[in-house]
Amino acid sequence: MSLKYEPVIGLEIHAELQTNSKMFCSCSADYSNAPDPNIFICPVCTGLPGAMPVLNRKAIEQATVVGLALNCSINEFNTFARKNYFYPDLPKGYQISQYDLPIASKGWLDILDASRTEYPMRVVVRRVHLEEDTAKLTHEKNSALVDFNRAGVPLLEIVSEPDMRSVEAALSYATKIRAILRYLGVNSGDMEKGVLRFEANVSVRPSGSSELRTRTEIKNLNSFRALTRASAYEIERQIKVYENGGEVVQETLGWDEARGVTVSQRGKEDAHDYRYFPEPDLPPLQLDRAWIDSIKSGLPELPDAKTARFISDFKLTPSEAQLLTSEQTLANYFESIVAKSKSTAKTIHSWIAGEFMRYMNDSGLALEEINLPAEKFAQLIDLVTDKTISGNSGKIVLNEMLNSGGDPAQIVKDKNLAQVSDTGFIQEAIEKVLSDNPKEVEQFLAGKETIVQWLMGQVARATKGKADPNVAKELLVKALEARRN
Ligand code: ADP
Ligand code: MG
Ligand code: ZN
């Protein structure tokens, strides 16, 4: 990227809430498990005349939880507004949303920007408001199908200030919002199902300037990959426009994943185009301060707080702690192993971050789908820590447990993996290795000490990995020295 320009990014994030019923009616909100299209519907969510909306208490609670977790002030006095526009997936001809009085505003989130030195940086959360999702359109060759099961599902919109200065920062912010929503249990974060969607507002300006230039808005980014690729593409495109003496036009863009380009959808609409006006069928919503406070005191420990605690309690580095706190279930798993094991937290972290995560990646399984009780994992790690088995054997046992279950001590027995510090057995193997490799012994005697490592490898092979490496090394060096003169 040209150093003469600096990107400016603001994100709008739409998150469906995990309520049982829809935002303004009692229809099921579980549309992704609906057996058929257009069955979770009623006069309210299909916009029939005279049908009256009723607020979903649970959705208000979840929105409040999110607002508090993002350090926002919760507005006690809330109103709803109609955002008018025509689209076939919007049966009422308007979306009920919040406009001038959102449920939460003026919060912040600290993130890391891998491309910069500031550490961490703060993104201001402008507002969090409640609205409803639209129906789902499926485009066919010469027609379009509409499914109203999703119409009216509670939707939260989280709007940031244009505070991000790189694609990495935008990714870090989006990733953290997703983690927080999952910690709070208000959104599954399952982007393939469309429950979490990003809109990136992007502009570029000369580096060092503080002006806000004309931005474009890229709609409906359904994955982190789409978010980063689309933003990066748009930054480069705008830089080229300025370098060629042109002006960026404010517009709404789509992202063409296959071609890897942003495409113009329409000129940017302004708020007045929607002719927002107060929703006449919903009275203002007054929240009780004591109720807000009780929600606040019930917030779970969030990723940042957990990371800080892991660093201080377990003596982990920030990046080790962050890896473990990226998912609440992973953090809990780690803590259960720590509680059941005699090994250090650092050691347990390396088993999780190494062999265990490799298995997760290779198998594509989620933590919840892996059947390895924390207690068994702890026992295995302890077998390595107390030198009953070598680290390599530990990996074999772990993979055996992951693939077929079982008890670590039993697997060690069945596979005959117990490490031997019996010096006679090791001594015998060393003598054989040395007589089989006279050239290497010569090299050692001529001063090439690094050859010891290679010989250690031969000893490990000869003992099938069962020799205690410290004992073996000591005996090997002794045997070599004995061959001098
Ligand atoms: P509205 O859509 O209500 O007019 P804004 O246009 O101010 O509100 O902001 C919508 C989103 O665009 C916000 O996330 C904001 O941070 C972002 N944004 C506003 N101006 C810019 C800009 N010049 N460059 C990048 N993002 C911007
Ligand atoms: Mg927008
Ligand atoms: Zn309904």
104 C-alpha vs ligand 2 centroid, how far in Å? 17
Residue ending a domain, among 294, 317, 335, is: 294
Same domain, 232 and 375: no
- 3-state SS, one letter per residue, for 9-20: EEEEEEEECCCC
Same domain, 396 and 434: no
Same domain, 269 and 409: no
- CA 110 – CA 122 distance, rounded (Å): 4
Task: Please state, rounded to an integer, the average pLDDT across all residues of the chain.
Answer: 93
For the chain, the 3-state helix, strand and coil shares in percent, each to the nearest 5, are 45, 20, 35
Same domain, 154 and 9: yes
11 C-alpha vs ligand 1 centroid, how far in Å? 8
Same domain, 54 and 88: yes
Same domain, 272 and 311: no
40 C-alpha vs ligand 3 centroid, how far in Å? 7
Same domain, 126 and 10: yes
Q: Give pLDDT, residue 484.
A: 83
* Model confidence at 19: pLDDT above 90: yes
Place of tokens 């449920």: 103
* Model confidence at 1: pLDDT above 60: no
Measured over the CA atoms of residue 68, residue 73, residue 76 and residue 80, the dihedral's sign is negative
Residue of the CA atom closest to atom 23 of ligand 1: 212
Q: Give pLDDT, residue 464.
A: 81
Please give the share of the chain, as a percent, with pLDDT higher than 90: 83
167 C-alpha vs ligand 1 centroid, how far in Å? 16
Ligand number, closest to the Cα atom of 12: 1
| Model confidence pLDDT, tens digit, residues 228-268 | 999 999 999 999 999 999 999 999 999 999 999 999 987 76
* Model confidence at 270: pLDDT above 90: no
Ligand 1 touching residue 272 (CB < 6 A):
no
Ligand number, closest to the Cα atom of 31: 3
Same domain, 25 and 150: yes
Place of tokens 């982007």: 191
What does R_g of the chain's alpha carbons equal in angstroms? Answer: 30
* Model confidence at 118: pLDDT above 60: no
> DSSP string of 34-47?
-SSTT-S--TTTTT
Categorize the per-residue pLDDT at 381 as very low, low, confident or very high, splitting at 50, 70 and 90.
very high
- What amino acid occupies position 7? P
Looking at residue 454, which CATH number applies to its domain? 1.10.10.410
Same domain, 285 and 386: no
Q: Which residue has the higher pLDDT, 275 or 335?
A: 335
CB under 8 Å to 354, separation ≥6 — which residues? Answer: none
278 C-alpha vs ligand 1 centroid, how far in Å? 23
Ligand 1 touching residue 61 (CB < 6 A):
no
* Model confidence at 331: pLDDT above 60: yes
| Model confidence pLDDT, tens digit, residues 441-478 | 999 999 998 999 999 999 988 888 788 888 889 999 99
Using most ligand atoms within 8 A of CB, pick from 106, 165, 215, 269 the residue to mutate for ligand 1: 215
Cα angle 48, 49, 54 (rounded to 5 degrees) comes to: 75
| Model confidence pLDDT, tens digit, residues 7-17 | 999 999 999 99
* Model confidence at 421: pLDDT above 70: no
Same domain, 409 and 455: no
Number of domains in the chain: 3
Three-class secondary structure of residue 201 per DSSP: strand
Residue of the CA atom closest to atom 1 of ligand 1: 271
Q: Give pLDDT, residue 465.
A: 78
Q: Give pLDDT, residue 286.
A: 97
Ligand 1 touching residue 72 (CB < 6 A):
no
Q: Give pLDDT, residue 66.
A: 98
Q: Which domain holds residue 460?
A: 423-482
Q: How many CB atoms within 10 Å of residue 296?
A: 14
- 202 CA closest ligand 1 atom index: 25
Q: Give pLDDT, residue 485.
A: 67
CB under 8 Å to 194, separation ≥6 — which residues? Answer: 222
Same domain, 210 and 318: no
Taking residues 434-439, report their average pLDDT.
93
Ligand 1 touching residue 212 (CB < 6 A):
yes
Taking residues 273-296, report their average pLDDT.
95
Three-class secondary structure of residue 308 per DSSP: helix
Categorize the per-residue pLDDT at 378 as very low, low, confident or very high, splitting at 50, 70 and 90.
very high
Categorize the per-residue pLDDT at 117 as very low, low, confident or very high, splitting at 50, 70 and 90.
low
* Model confidence at 2: pLDDT above 60: no
* Model confidence at 167: pLDDT above 70: yes
Residue ending a domain, among 414, 438, 468, is: 414
DSSP annotation of 302 reads P
150 C-alpha vs ligand 3 centroid, how far in Å? 10
Structural tokens at position 304: 């940042």
Q: Give pLDDT, residue 443.
A: 92
Residue ending a domain, among 252, 269, 294, is: 294
Q: Which residues of 111-120 are buried (b: 16+ CB within 10 A; e: fewer)?
A: bbbeeeeeee
Ligand number, closest to the Cα atom of 135: 3
* Model confidence at 114: pLDDT above 80: no
Residues with CB under 5 A from ligand 3 (ion): 25, 27, 42, 44-45
- 161 CA closest ligand 1 atom index: 16
Q: Give pLDDT, residue 353.
A: 96
Ligand number, closest to the Cα atom of 92: 3
Q: Give pLDDT, residue 265.
A: 87
161 C-alpha vs ligand 1 centroid, how far in Å? 7
Same domain, 53 and 151: yes
